Amino acid sequence: MEREEAMQLLKQHLTTENLLKHTYAVEAVMRELADHLDEDPDRWGLAGLLHDIDYDETSDDPSMHSIEGARMLEEAGLDEELVDAVRAHNDHHGLPRESTMAKGLYAVDPLTGLIVAAALVHPDRELESVDVEFVMNRYDDSSFARGARREAIDSCSELGLELEEFIDIALRAMKDISDRLGL
């Protein structure tokens, strides 16, 4: 599936602007991470872009989130590794994350939220001004961006990455699309 077709599919199912921005952020970071790990940025980007495709439909039933999305992506003809990565990114199911892509998506998803939250508390509220140190200073504060699951972010170690390196990769990717993110 090409990105344009994926965008059409995504916009058929997601209507919330902030959720769309989240998927753009996850897509950008997944592409950058794939490039860093010598993986396929296009496939990894699609996983990031489409990972929450079912969110509007499953928001009242979190037990179905990612299960329904994986079904949708399977029906759309996406490959098994991508579908499995989407299915396993939701902790609720306790599914194993076996592929590198699945491990990446699991760690990237909450990190993008943490970085957005950091940008929003920065004095100029611009992503361009946020650096790794600024994010790290908030990372250890468990009351900051509570929804950004630190244990998932910390799983970047399964990809052979130190936390600071992982945050740097994500920041670079998100800064490249800061206009699309409104930051």
Is there a domain that residue 183 lies in?
A: no
CATH code for the domain in which residue 120 is found: 1.10.3210
Is there a domain that residue 68 lies in?
A: yes
The string of pLDDT tens digits covering residues 63-100 is 899 999 999 999 999 999 999 999 999 988 788 999 99
pLDDT at site 13: 95
pLDDT at site 92: 81
Residue 46: give the domain boundaries: 3-178
Q: How far is CA 46 from CA 97, 128, 178, in A?
A: 17, 25, 19
Average pLDDT over residues 113-124: 95
Is there a domain that residue 143 lies in?
A: yes
The C-alpha atoms of residue 129 and residue 167 are separated, in whole angstroms, by 14
- How many distinct structural domains can be found in the chain? 1
Is there a domain that residue 97 lies in?
A: yes
Is there a domain that residue 130 lies in?
A: yes
